[in-house]
Structures are given as structure tokens and as C-alpha cells.
Amino acid sequence: MNTAKIIILTAPSGGGKTTIAHRLLKEFPGIAFSVSATTRARREGETDGKDYYFLSDEEFNRRIEAGAFIEWEEFYGGSRYGTLKDHIDNHLKKGYFVLFDVEVNGAKNLKRYFGDSAVSIFISPPSREELRRRLQLRGTENEKTLKLRLERAEMELEQADFFDYTVVNEHLESAYAQVREIVAKSINNQE
Ligand code: 5GP
């Protein structure tokens, strides 16, 4: 029996996937969000347990040693991000589809882990210039992390082919409509 009901959204940082993820969660009550653990500092407006589980380095290490993560990555000058196995199992046990909003390496690892029962969608910015503009506009980056994120984004853009679908996010409405259709189709196929 196919019990894994997994939707993976990925994009280079600043690609617009978080906005799309939030809209999917609003529209589809049967989808639960995979809340990742992270060691990065909480940003204004973020809630512990809703946006992320904010963990200390020590606590993150402890969870790695306990084998609590399906995958985890370290980037942007040392912050770590990871998917907690128990958290996902809980969602699946309750019958939810699970939506992931993760960077490209993590998305590849999740796709490998869940296999054909996961649908993976790569959200691509229309251009590198636009990606830079969006990251700058967001205003959460200093020059150093902006540069790191852009360098990483270059690498990530080359990975698009790995994923089941690519959606170009030039206009949010049309990108959302495309993602929505892919997700609706996956849900109908599984039920
Ligand atoms: P931010 O610091 O902007 O919230 O996130 C930075 C990047 O980490 C984003 O691309 C985000 O999607 C990604 N991310 C969030 N959670 C996870 C996770 O559990 N695993 C991995 N590999 N990446 C994650």
C-alpha cells in the first residue's frame, strides 16, 4: 500500500516557494506543513513550532546523534536545517499529505527517500537578475549572506532537471495556478 503522500517544493533561495507553500496550505486543508528544525536565529514574525523548530547547536547535534532527521543540511555561514522523522510520521499517521518547503539538496534527498510516492516541484526564478532583486528586496540579508545565497542559487538552478516538474515563477498568480494543478492532480491520484 502506498502510504506516503508527499509534496516537495524547492527553489533557489528567494525563488518564491514559501509564498506558494502558504497558499497551498490555505487552500488544501488535507495538507500539513513539514516544520523543519533549524539553528538559525528566529526572524521577526516567525513562530517557534509553526515556521520552524528553533534549536540550539547542542540540541541539533543531539538529534543528529539520535537519528532523528530524515535529512539535514548546513549552509549560509553555519546554520543547519533538517527534517524531523517523527514530525512527518505524525502527519502521515493522521492521514495528511505533507508539504515540504526545502532547499535543493534537501529536496533531492527527500525525493530519494520517499521515491515515487513523492511529487517534487522546482520553482525557478525567471532569471538570475530577478533572483538577486528578490533577495535584496526581502531585506533579511546582509551583504555577506546575500553573496553566499546567490552563489548557492547558481548551483541550485542547474539541478532543476532532477525534479518531476519545473514551474517558472515570473508572475506569482500563474506560477501558483500551475503548482495548484500539479498538487490537485497528485491528491486525486492518491485518494
Ligand atoms: P530560510 O533561512 O530562508 O528560512 O531558509 C533557508 C533555506 O533552507 C530555504 O531554502 C529553506 O527552504 C531551506 N530549508 C528549510 N527547512 C529545511 C530542511 O528541513 N531541510 C533542508 N535541507 N532545507 C531546509
Give the pLDDT band of residue 42 (cuts 50, 70, 90).
very high
**CA 191 / ligand 1 centre spacing (Å):** 29
Atom of ligand 1 nearest to the CA of 82: 19
Under 8 Å between Cβ of 124 and 11: yes
- Measured between alpha carbons, how far is 114 from 109 in angstroms, rounded to an integer? 9
Q: What is the pLDDT of residues 2-29, one digit of tens each?
A: 444 999 999 987 667 889 999 999 999 9
Between residues 132 and 121, which one has the greater pLDDT?
121
Atom of ligand 1 nearest to the CA of 11: 10
Whether the CB of 11 sits within 6 Å of ligand 1 = no
CATH code, residues 6-190: 3.40.50.300
In DSSP terms, 95 is beta-bridged to none
**CA 75 / ligand 1 centre spacing (Å):** 9
Ligand 1 atom 12: the closest Cα is on which residue? 102
Rounded mean pLDDT, 161-168: 96
**CA 26 / ligand 1 centre spacing (Å):** 20
Can you give the pLDDT at residue 139? 66
Residue 106 CB neighbour total at 10 angstroms:
22
